[in-house]
Structure 1
Amino acid sequence: MSTAAVRHRLARLRWYVRELTGEAAYDRYVAHTRTHSPDAPVMTRRAFERSRTDAREGDPRQGFRCC
């Protein structure tokens, strides 16, 4: 297997893991905010994650979180 093929597979694996864990959501948020509202302030990663967590816990469709 060539070096290029290995790099391609590792890049695909990295993409998959980032999507699976939700890590890419912040990157999409930043890109969307900068595209649609260039003058709006962008939340920090910590604030973004806190906002996502609050939204998930406040939505009854997401299930009950006991802890």
Structure 2
Amino acid sequence: MTAGRPGVLAGVRWYLRELSGEAKWDAYLERCERDGTEPMSRRAFERHRDEHRERSTQGRCC
């Protein structure tokens, strides 16, 4: 009966990482490693992401 539980927990973990933005940070680090570039700090990454989100407000109603 617990055979399905690891899959469920992995799904919940994936969902929470996507929701929190943790997956975007990991993807950014992988892209920098692949391209051979120095990644910005986590703080700078989050600031950049927030600024981009503020400039791209077409999805909002107000």
What TM-score, normalized by structure 2, do the two folds share? 0.77
Structure 1 counterpart of 2:29, which letter? V
Name the residue aligned to 1:10: 9
- Specify whether residues 53 and 62 from structure 1 end up closer, same or farther in structure 2 by C-alpha distance, changes over 3 A only: farther
Structure 1 segments unaligned to the other structure (5+ residues)? none
Structure 2 segments unaligned to the other structure (5+ residues)? none
Distance in 2 of aligned mates of 1:33 and 1:7 = 31
Identical amino acids, percent of aligned pairs: 40
- Across the two proteins, how many residue pairs are aligned to each other? 62
Name the residue aligned to 1:25: 24
Structure 1 counterpart of 2:15, which letter? Y
Task: Give the root-mean-square deviation of aligned CA atoms.
Answer: 2.1
Distance in 2 of aligned mates of 1:50 and 1:61 = 19
Aligned ranges 1:1-67 → 2 under 5 Å: 1-2=1-2, 4-35=3-34, 37-38=35-36, 40-63=37-60
Could you list the structure 1 runs, at least 4 aligned residues long, displaced by more than 6 angstroms after superposition. Answer: none
